[in-house]
Structure 1
Amino acid sequence: MALSTVALVFGAFLLFKYLALAGSLILPLGISYFTFRLIHYVQEGYRGRLREHSLIEFLAFMTFFPTYLAGPINLFPDFLQNLRRRKWDNSRFSGGLERMVYGYAQLVVLGNYGVNYLLKNWLAGSLTASEGFGPLVIQSVYLWLDLYIRFSAYSSIAIGVAAMAGFNVPENFNYPYLATNIREFWNRWHMSLTHWCREYIFIPVAAITRRPFIAIGATMITIGIWHELSLRYILWGVYHAMGITAFEKYSRVTKGLFPRNRIFLTMGKVVSVAVTLAFVILSFPVTTLVNNFILNMFR
């Protein structure tokens, strides 16, 4: 079962990405989310975890418009329960409307005006520079900030619209830049994707190999390829996998070594947040330089 899961995930997912990269296929909007939902549905059906349902209910799940383009990745059992039990609820509708407006305001005010206009103009020289590690770091800060504001705004809009229609959709972000370690960061960032990869990548690979670091590597490389099928994003996945593996080993080695008083814990948390944020920001500069080095070797 685990082997079939891994084969299905990588086979279906990489096929779409490769065909698009080769130029023989134009990917429709939302195809990554559509593919992941389909793989989830097939695997849960294979495991016998799906309740009896109709073709219409399946199609409604696959084409659920609030989450179709930008997630979050909703799961079929939750969707089916909401579909069958939903009824008009004034408080849910008003709460959903408020969340949607909040997300739209975040997208327009913080995303379009704050980051994409004010900050982009202020950093114009660094963002257009093509050489040097410093400009790459500044570009990475801008990219991670823009990603978070826009992506979390899209998620809020989707969650709000779904709530207005009577559906519960999972949260996608939980203040990831306040994470105290890289493992916690990925439990806070794009949480629906992380949960999906844990269920259908990490657990099957760990069951096959009995090597957690291999499962972590496969999971993070999948997340990298999910963004883009390229050497740079494969290296980006390896970078984060190495960070998570190193943190796991560090946690085991240092367990019980540090004092537990309040001042030390507070200082430790501040330092941990700063180190984690720096590690995340450096992911693009480091992997970009390694990617360019490898490509130059074969020119």
Structure 2
Amino acid sequence: MLVLLTYLLIGAISVGVYWAVKEEVQPYVLIVASLVFFSLHDLISLLILSIASLITFYLLRLGSKRSFYFSLCFIILSFLFVIFKVDATIEEGSFNASLPLGMSFYLFRLLHYAIESYKGHLRKTELKTFITYMFYLPVLIIGPLIRLGDWSKEIKRRRWNPELFSNGMERIMFGFIKITFLGNFLVNAKLSTFIRSFEDEQSWIVNYLECFQYTANSYLQFAGYSDIAVGLSMLFGIRIMENFRFPFLATDINDFWKRWHISLSNWCRDYIFMPVASFSRLTWLAIIASMLVLGLWHELSLRYILWGSFHGVGIVIWNLQDKYFGRKLSSKAMSIYSVIGRIITIHFVIFSFAFVKEESVSESFRILLILVGLD
């Protein structure tokens, strides 16, 4: 909570300074705000982000042997990602234990920049634009994973807009309520008290509610921070992509991943699914590879490998049944099919979090067996 409050305080101060200075100075206000935030909370993150950003930018500016320098850059960024993820897992056994603040997000943004630069899409990026993009305060903590091309267009056409500013304030308020009141108070505190009221022999309902609690809290925390990021960005006159779009209204697991952590799903689609599908000509393999990377992005551990594989296999199975069954239904049957699909999807997601809410894989499987009535 201290990190969030500091983030909001620095954001509020920087917004005031940002609109008080000349337009050409505004990007530097954004950079300074991020430097202050990192300096107060995680100097290691600031050091890693600074060094990795400069190495990436200048390596990819070298004219000769582009493939070599891109490969070197890709290896360096992947190594940093893996080494800190492994360190966090070994030391504490939980996500973000000793992980530098925001590292998963800014290293994936650097990988995006490296790949797009190698393709020739971002070769003319100026250093000021690149640094402002990498040190953009609203997305530092928990995303979304914005793309440099889209963000550059927005920052160039930014203007003071009272309506956008008002909408930004509302989004920040909604996000803060999601995190604090709905997530921390209702789901974590009150629901925990309700779960403890059940007797020991009522193991199914206890485990079901605990999985529901973990799922709901994960959504409220992620979506709340995303709301704040989107809202704070609006205060700077810059629109960034939405990261969550009512995921629990999804009619199927494929639709769910178009609504949940959209920026990460799109990143995996563009940089994992498309290359694997093009190379192997196997859609199912590309889907599972994408979901494995998505899982490992959260944590390098067996439980997240299982979680990602579970979702990957679920998407493959859904695609098969939709191809041979779902698309042949009448309009009336399709409405019933959609309702059933929503019920199945939300429970598929809830059950999947049994893999990651426990440290022990064996305990996760025990919970799953209870949930499906086999324990």
| TM-score normalised by structure 1 residue count | 0.87
Relative to 1, partners in 2 of residues 1:250 and 1:290: Cα closer, same or farther, differing over 3 Å?
farther
Task: Give the one of 102, 122, 146 matched to 1:50.
Answer: 122
Q: CA RMSD in A?
A: 3.0
Question: Partner letter of residue 66 of structure 1?
Answer: P
Whether the 8 Å CA contact 2:188–2:213 is kept in 1: the answer is no
Give runs of aligned pairs for residues 27-106 of structure 1, distance below 5 A.
Answer: 27-50=99-122, 52-106=124-178
CA distance in 1, matches of 2:125, 2:206: 53
Look up the match of 1:258: 329
Size of the aligned set, in residue pairs, is 290
Look up the match of 1:148: 219
Note the C-alpha offset of 1:196: 0.6
Task: Give the one of 333, 343, 346 matched to 1:277.
Answer: 346
Look up the match of 2:7: none
Relative to 1, partners in 2 of residues 1:116 and 1:22: Cα closer, same or farther, differing over 3 Å?
closer
Whether the 8 Å CA contact 1:51–1:77 is kept in 2: the answer is no
Note the C-alpha offset of 1:104: 1.4
CA distance in 1, matches of 2:285, 2:360: 21
Relative to 1, partners in 2 of residues 1:52 and 1:139: Cα closer, same or farther, differing over 3 Å?
same
Look up the match of 1:291: 361
Give runs of aligned pairs for residues 1-299 of structure 1, distance below 5 A.
Answer: 11=79, 13-23=81-91, 26-50=98-122, 52-124=124-196, 135-261=206-332, 264-285=333-354, 291-292=361-362
Whether the 8 Å CA contact 1:221–1:234 is kept in 2: the answer is yes
Question: Partner letter of residue 193 of structure 2?
Answer: N
Task: Give the greater-gyration-radius structure (CA).
Answer: 2
Bigger mean CA deviation after superposition, 193-202 or 285-294? 285-294
Identify unmatched segments of 5+ residues in structure 2: 1-66, 366-375
Question: Partner letter of residue 258 of structure 1?
Answer: L
Q: Equivalent residue of 2:353, what SS? A: helix
Runs of at least 4 residues off by over 6 Å: 286-290
Percent same amino acid at aligned positions? 35
Bigger mean CA deviation after superposition, 91-100 or 279-288? 279-288
Question: Partner letter of residue 341 of structure 2?
Answer: S
Note the C-alpha offset of 1:59: 1.1
Note the C-alpha offset of 1:175: 0.9
Whether the 8 Å CA contact 1:100–1:161 is kept in 2: the answer is yes
Identify unmatched segments of 5+ residues in structure 1: none
Note the C-alpha offset of 1:236: 0.8
Relative to 1, partners in 2 of residues 1:54 and 1:257: Cα closer, same or farther, differing over 3 Å?
closer
Relative to 1, partners in 2 of residues 1:14 and 1:134: Cα closer, same or farther, differing over 3 Å?
farther
Whether the 8 Å CA contact 1:137–1:285 is kept in 2: the answer is no
Whether the 8 Å CA contact 1:162–1:168 is kept in 2: the answer is yes
Higher-RCO chain (CA-CA 8 Å, sequence separation at least 6): 1
Note the C-alpha offset of 1:159: 0.3
CA distance in 2, matches of 1:289, 1:32: 21
Bigger mean CA deviation after superposition, 89-98 or 230-239? 89-98
